[in-house]
Amino acid sequence: VVKYFSFNNPDLIIQGYKLDLKQVTQRALPTIILNFLFKRKFKAAAKKVRAHGIGVHKPEEIEEFGHNDLTVLSDLLGDKPFFFGDSPTSLDVVAFANLAQVVYMDKEVSYSLRDWMAENCPNLVEFCNRVKDQAFPDWEEMCTNLDLNSHLPKPPPEEKVEEVAAEKKDEKSKEEEKKDEKEKDDTEKEKAHKDEKEGEKEDNKKTEEKEKEEEKK
């Protein structure tokens, strides 16, 4: 039912989910061309929906199918936080994935199934909000940036990466300079110490020679 609505109303999908087609498609094409390609893709998908069998029914009948499905889910959920109790299961994941497409359609867009669900199945709306708050606290950021991993730390921008690399290079150069200076100082100290030792040896040698000469006298 949701697919039938989506594929037959591409304009409403763009408006209802506030889609930025350049961001969605990652194509730097004019908006009018992206709109055309988007609608053509949805038109092809609509044929598959009709081939599935649901397309042979009247819009009123398809809407009724949606009401029946929502009623079954609403009765199954009841007053529980999740379909099988206090903890979410795979059914909750699948249900949220489908119901969220209805619940979070922008209110400015006319969508009768969303309005019927809000009026007749409020527990399903609460369920969607509960899952969203618990599983996707960064929902708004995800929808804005289309980033499914917005909770993960991001690498710094390219400029900052270059700056960090330059800073590290400078730090490395400074460390190497300090190391060279230290080695130079150590070498000079070692040389001075060696010269001092040799000087002492020379003095001792001269003293010994002088003493020997005095003894001969």
Q: Are residues 132 and 212 in the same domain?
A: no
Q: What is the number of domains present in the chain?
A: 2
> What do you get for the CA distance between the two ends of the chain, in Å?
128
Q: Are residues 125 and 196 in the same domain?
A: no
Q: What is the pLDDT of residues 120-143, one digit of tens each?
A: 999 999 999 999 999 988 888 877
Cβ contacts of 7-10, under 8 Å, gap ≥ 24: 7/42, 7/43, 7/45, 7/46, 7/49, 8/42, 8/46, 8/49, 10/38, 10/39, 10/42, 10/43
Q: Could you tell me the residue range of the domain that residue 9 belongs to?
A: 2-145
Final residue of a structural domain among 145, 171, 198: 145
With a threshold of 0.85, does the pTM exceed it?
no
Return the pLDDT at 91.
96
Q: What is the pLDDT of residues 37-81, one digit of tens each?
A: 777 777 776 666 666 677 678 888 889 999 999 999 999 999 999
Residue 75 within any structural domain of the chain: yes
Residue 152 within any structural domain of the chain: no
Residue 83 within any structural domain of the chain: yes
pLDDT higher at 21 or 64 = 64
Residue 33 within any structural domain of the chain: yes
Q: Are residues 6 and 48 in the same domain?
A: yes
Token pair for 143 = 């929808």
